[in-house]
Amino acid sequence: MSPAAPGNAAQTAPSPSSLTRNYLSVADLSPEEILHLLDRALELKRFRTTEHPLAGRTAGLVFQKPSLRTRVSFEVAMLQLGGHAVYLSPAEVGLGQREAAVDVARVLSRYVDVLVARVFLHSDVVALAEYASVPVINALSDREHPCQILADLLTLYERRGTLRGLHLAYVGDGNNVAHSLALAAPGLGIHLRVACPDGYEPDGAIMDQAQAGAPTGAIELFRDPREAVRGADAVYTDTWYSMGQESEAEARAPAFRRFQLNSELLAEAKPGAMAMHCLPAHRNQEITDEVMDGGASVVYDQAENRLHVQKALLLKLFGRD
Ligand code: CP
Ligand code: NVA
């Protein structure tokens, strides 16, 4: 279904979406804004406020894919800030099937104050943002997972006190998580080394965007995971097959095997290096039990930090930061 012509849009849209602030990509926030959000999130984590700055506000959660962390952390974030969240499953909305994104965006904008959308195609969250008159937050698309990366940055920041100068290695699939990491890292002074199997590299155009304006070598690509991990402060991995790619799991496994985050690979990193994963993990595929449950693992901090940093993000979008 294609969106209606702009002439029709003018009759129905309550206000142009260009006046709202969307968060579709981690690149929608400047490095300074990210650092400000991280400080605010740390404050919110340490001193849980009893104030309700979002009283009367509602978030519409439009999810085309399953979720544990994203759904719960956004729902709890809204609740703790005094607002409310309405979860809409794929069965209810059928984005692009039961109803075009343009109509979903326009209708929901009449009920809710912010949209949080988890979609297959990035173009769907872009379409929602184009036609919504309220802010739209990307809660994961095939291109990016920007909220996750804010939580990961918060985890690094609270553990190390600074992001500047950190060496972060990402091993595995060049997917949405890798893209958001790459788009955020250089501006914050993080050196990112990415190791992917042949044919599973991050998108070239996104990597060019990430590298643009950054010092040469801010992001390096490797084929050998050990080279990428050598001397790193933190080692990050994600599933070898993302949601929607389950049918490729078996075919992909051989190419990814040597990219497993196990104790041997982690031993190449700095002593005390952190092991990171956005979850859900396929234990003993991309990450071993030993690493997930070991002393280096910060995976549950990453998960917890989704809540704190999304509270900071929501406050920012509502002008209450
Ligand atoms: N990390 C993450 O986004 O988890 P969910 O898919 O459970 O939301
Ligand atoms: N890359 C994974 C992240 C899940 C949080 C996916 O898109 O399924």
Given a cut of 80, whether residue 9 has pLDDT beyond it is no
Query: Fold match between 26-145+305-317 and 147-302?
Result: yes
pLDDT for the residue numbered 94: 80
Given a cut of 70, whether residue 6 has pLDDT beyond it is no
Q: Report phi then psi at 254, rounded to 5.
A: -60, -40
If you take atom 5 of ligand 1, which residue's CA is the nearest one?
67
- 251's enclosing H/E stretch is helix 249-256
Render pLDDT for 23-70 as a digit per residue (tens, 0 to 9): 999 999 999 999 999 999 999 999 987 889 999 999 999 999 999 999
Centre of ligand 2 from the C-alpha of residue 239, in Å: 7
Domain 147-302 has CATH 3.40.50.300: no
In 3D space, the residue among 254, 190, 199, 203 whose CA is nearest the CA of residue 223 turns out to be 199
Given a cut of 50, whether residue 20 has pLDDT beyond it is yes
Residues serving a catalytic function are 118, 145, 148, 238, 278, 306
Task: State which ligand 1 atom lies nearest to the alpha carbon of 243.
Answer: 6
In 3D space, the residue among 233, 231, 208 whose CA is nearest the CA of residue 218 turns out to be 208
Q: Is the CB of 148 under 6 A from ligand 1?
A: yes
Centre of ligand 1 from the C-alpha of residue 12, in Å: 34
Q: Is the CB of 278 under 6 A from ligand 1?
A: yes
Centre of ligand 2 from the C-alpha of residue 243, in Å: 6
pLDDT for the residue numbered 8: 41
Render pLDDT for 228-259 as a digit per residue (tens, 0 to 9): 999 999 999 999 999 999 999 999 999 999 99
Given a cut of 70, whether residue 171 has pLDDT beyond it is yes
What are the extents of the domains in the chain?
26-145+305-317, 147-302
CATH fold group of domain 26-145+305-317? Rossmann fold (3.40.50)
| Probe residue for ligand 2, chosen from 69, 138, 243, 282 as the CB with the greatest number of ligand atoms within 8 Å | 243
- 207's enclosing H/E stretch is helix 204-211
Render pLDDT for 281-315 as a digit per residue (tens, 0 to 9): 999 999 999 999 999 999 999 999 999 999 999 99
Q: How far apart are CA 165 and CA 6, in angstroms?
A: 47
Mean pLDDT of the chain: 93
